[in-house]
Amino acid sequence: MAPLITIERHIIDQQRKYPNATGAFSRLLYDIALSAKIIARESMRAGLVDILGSADTENVHGEKQQKLDIFADATMFHMNDHTGQLCVMASEEQDNIITIPDQFPCGKYVLVYDPLDGSSNIDVNIGMGTIFGIHRKITEGERGALEDCLQPGHDLVAAGYVIYGTSTMLVYSTGQGVHGFTLDPSLGEFLLSHENMRIPEKPLYYSANQGNQKYWTPGVRRYVDWLQGLDAPDHEPLQARYAGSLVSDFHRNLLRGGVYFYPGDLRNPNKPNGKLRLVYEAAPLAFLAEQAGGYASDGIGNILDIKPTSLHQRVPYFIGNRNLVEQAERFIQEYDPEWLARYKPMRVTVTGKRQTATMRVQAES
């Protein structure tokens, strides 16, 4: 029988590559895996306990919160607030940064997360997920601050997601490739099932909400024609698959090859930057995509080079096979000068990892 490699064992094996590791980072990854098991258990019972439906509250984005949203958010907080690994947290469901309670010690890591992405799918039994990113603390003092949560994605030390689908999987990377673990409910363990995940060279799918097509820019509409092979008789179309859940669409495209995009549009001239949040959705998955041989862009350049200027900042988003994402950039560059003029001033980039970072305000360049 092939050896059962639990996520705990995999984390320890990864830690052994760093002789000076204290184990703090490994313990943080355990705690996230345990949080995932707890959320998975509740989401699998969602139809049986009073956790379906809306909580009759709204989050910072004015989005109706589901009971399971609130449960997942509380779980991520309570499983990580006391461990001494973190100095601050940030959640899609919380307006401001989440400080570590005074009675608990602080650590050197920062956890940003979307506790339950795609929660509108809960009541219709379609997949959803948790997305997380881990940064190092960069500010002075024991306790973390907002600036610790506003680091560019290329400074992430780890990122991952949990997908609550036909099975529950935890997929993560610490910069040493992307590895997937499937939860065995009978053991309560995440077991290594997808080692060194790489996005296939030949893509099969594109994922987008084409109900918004009338609001898309000319460049994005041209892009969809290209994806559908309408621009050339010998150009094979990609198949459309859209789950309404970023984690589900990203996971499928990571395994089968493809592109997911949620572009900026022309509906609101003051909001050309789309729907997805940079800090705890777009950047962590962009980190994974790059580790798996893919790429993520806001339509201009690498998502990982964008310096967040606010906690819930939104970005236009294209993620998947590099050649597919770069084609979107070319069409936007050629056909969308009006949109580019609106969006570029919002875009601050930092090229190069922290030690050699050079901040550049896109609007000035």
Q: Which residues bind ligand P6P (CB under 6 A)?
A: 117-118, 120, 209, 244-246, 275-276
Name the token pair of 286: 């962009």
- Smallest gap, in angstroms, from Cβ of residue 355 to ligand P6P? 33
- Smallest gap, in angstroms, from Cβ of residue 315 to ligand P6P? 12
Buried b (16+ CB within 10 A) or exposed e, 240-265: ebebebbbbbbbbbbbebbbbbbbbb
* Residue 38, number of CB atoms within 10 A of its CB: 16
Please say which residue, 10 or 275, places its beta carbon nearer to ligand P6P.
Answer: 275
- Smallest gap, in angstroms, from Cβ of residue 248 to ligand P6P? 8
CB 11 within 8 A of CB 30: yes
Alpha-carbon distance of 6 to 12, in angstroms, equals: 10
- Smallest gap, in angstroms, from Cβ of residue 153 to ligand P6P? 17
- Smallest gap, in angstroms, from Cβ of residue 274 to ligand P6P? 10
CB 107 within 8 A of CB 84: yes
Please say which residue, 10 or 252, places its beta carbon nearer to ligand P6P.
Answer: 252
* Residue 213, number of CB atoms within 10 A of its CB: 12
- Smallest gap, in angstroms, from Cβ of residue 120 to ligand P6P? 6
Please say which residue, 245 or 321, places its beta carbon nearer to ligand P6P.
Answer: 245
CB 73 within 8 A of CB 94: yes
Please say which residue, 128 or 292, places its beta carbon nearer to ligand P6P.
Answer: 128
Alpha-carbon distance of 358 to 365, in angstroms, equals: 13
> Where is 113: in which H helix or E strand?
strand 109-117
Please say which residue, 209 or 310, places its beta carbon nearer to ligand P6P.
Answer: 209
Please say which residue, 29 or 128, places its beta carbon nearer to ligand P6P.
Answer: 128
Name the token pair of 150: 């506003």
Half-sphere exposure of 196 (CA within 13 A, CB side): 0
Chain-centroid distance, C-alpha 185: 25
Please say which residue, 118 or 272, places its beta carbon nearer to ligand P6P.
Answer: 118
- Smallest gap, in angstroms, from Cβ of residue 84 to ligand P6P? 32
